[in-house]
Amino acid sequence: MSARPRPTSPHLSIYRFTITMTMSIVHRATGIALYCGTVLLVAWLAAAAWGGEPFAVVNAIYSSWFGLLVLFGYTWALFHHLLGGLRHFVWDFGYGFEPGQREGLAWANVIASVALTLIAWTLFVWVA
């Protein structure tokens, strides 16, 4: 008995990757990033509780170029995941399912998350 190849989906030849599919993947990835990034917040709070010297060490790490880059990414992940959750909340009420609306909400998620991240960093990090 010879092994027959497994059937493939008839849609593989016409399948196209859409922005809403990308946002679904990114929403999951930002959720994972938020879990991991919350460890940074816990480390900062624990260092503050332990005293001035550990707190200074953690602040030195977080204020390095790499630390700031990670914190910037964490801020973006936070806003992106928040807005993705709001997009799903809108969908839960049955709105935004038309093709143009789906793509519009997905692009609004991307643009607004970048804009909110830049606004937050401008107000609370770069200016302050």
pLDDT tens digits for 14-50?
Answer: 777 889 999 999 999 999 999 999 999 999 999 999 9
Q: What are phi and psi of 68, to 5 degrees?
A: -65, -35
Q: What are phi and psi of 56, to 5 degrees?
A: -65, -40
- Residue 30 in contact with residue 22, Cβ under 8 Å? no
- Residue 78 in contact with residue 34, Cβ under 8 Å? yes
Cα separation, 34 vs 89, in Å, equals 19
Furthest-apart CA pair in the chain: how many Å? 73
pLDDT computed for residue 81 by the predictor: 97
- Residue 40 in contact with residue 74, Cβ under 8 Å? yes
Q: What is the pLDDT along the chain (128 residues), one digit of tens a residue?
A: 667 777 676 666 677 788 999 999 999 999 999 999 999 999 999 999 999 999 999 999 999 999 999 999 999 999 999 999 999 999 999 999 998 999 999 999 999 999 999 999 999 999 97
Task: Please tell me the CATH code under which domain 19-126 is placed.
Answer: 1.20.1300.10
pLDDT computed for residue 99 by the predictor: 81
Which residues, at least 6 apart from 40, have a Cβ–Cβ distance to it below 8 Å?
Answer: 62, 70, 71, 74
The alpha carbon of 98 is separated from its chain's Cα centroid by a whole number of angstroms, namely 24
Please state the domain extents for the chain: 19-126
> What is each CA distance from 96 to 12, 21, 23, 87, 101, in whole angstroms?
26, 15, 15, 9, 5
Full-model pTM: 0.84
